[in-house]
Each structure stands twice: as C-alpha cells, then as structure tokens.
Amino acid sequence: DGGITQSPKYLFRKEGQNVTLSCEQNLNHDAMYWYRQDPGQGLRLIYYSQIVNDFQKGDIAEGYSVSREKKESFPLTVTSAQKNPTAFYLCASSMDRGFYGYTFGSGTRLTVV
C-alpha cells in the first residue's frame, strides 16, 4: 500500500456500537488525514493532523473522533453518534502538509448491519 496501511479492509458494525479504523504509515510523514467517500461521491475531510498530539476537525467531524499519539498512527473511531456511517473510509499522509501531494491507503469499507 505504498507505505500506508489501513485495516481492516471490510468492517461490519451493529447499530449503536463504536468501531475503530486503523491507519499506519512508515513514510515518516508528519501529516495524516481521514476522508469519507460515499458511492459516486467525492472525498470529504473528517479530521486531519499535521503534528503528533494535535489534530483539527474537517468538514464532517460530527460523530467521529481521532487520536495522534504516535507519528505513524492515526486511528479513527466511528461513534454511535454518527447516524449514517456506512461508507468507504480513506486515510492519507503527506510530508510538508501536502505540498508534495498525499499518499492514500487502500481504504476500509464500513457497513452498518
């Protein structure tokens, strides 16, 4: 996955449950990002982190939470407050905040059952 790994590839969640998506990178990138993609739609920014122990809300942060305790890791928790969590979730990383582009992970497809 070009140095950025998302797991699991597929995830099923029961309504009312929290679930955590993993994103790990070994590219020594400072910045990491989470995007949500619905069928036939574009990329919507959930959260991003440009440095360890700091992160900012994106355009659709409600119902999600993140942490950035290590440079290599940026897990995303989809909480029960997220009313429509079924989607394709993409993690990305970049050096220099994106001035050299982003590297994306292969994604996690989350389905609520």
Q: Which residues bind other proteins (CB under 8 A)?
A: 1, 31, 33, 40-43, 45, 48, 50, 90, 94, 97-107
Do residues 75 and 66 lie in contact, with contact meaning Cβ atoms separated by under 8 Å? yes
Judged by beta carbon, residue 64 or residue 102, the one nearer other proteins is 102
Alpha-carbon radius of gyration of the chain: 13
Please report how close the Cβ of residue 59 comes to other proteins at its closest, in angstroms: 10
Cβ-based neighbours of 9, under 8 Å, separated by 6 or more? 106, 107, 108, 109
Unique residue bearing structure tokens 């969590």: 85
Judged by beta carbon, residue 63 or residue 98, the one nearer other proteins is 98
Please report how close the Cβ of residue 96 comes to other proteins at its closest, in angstroms: 9
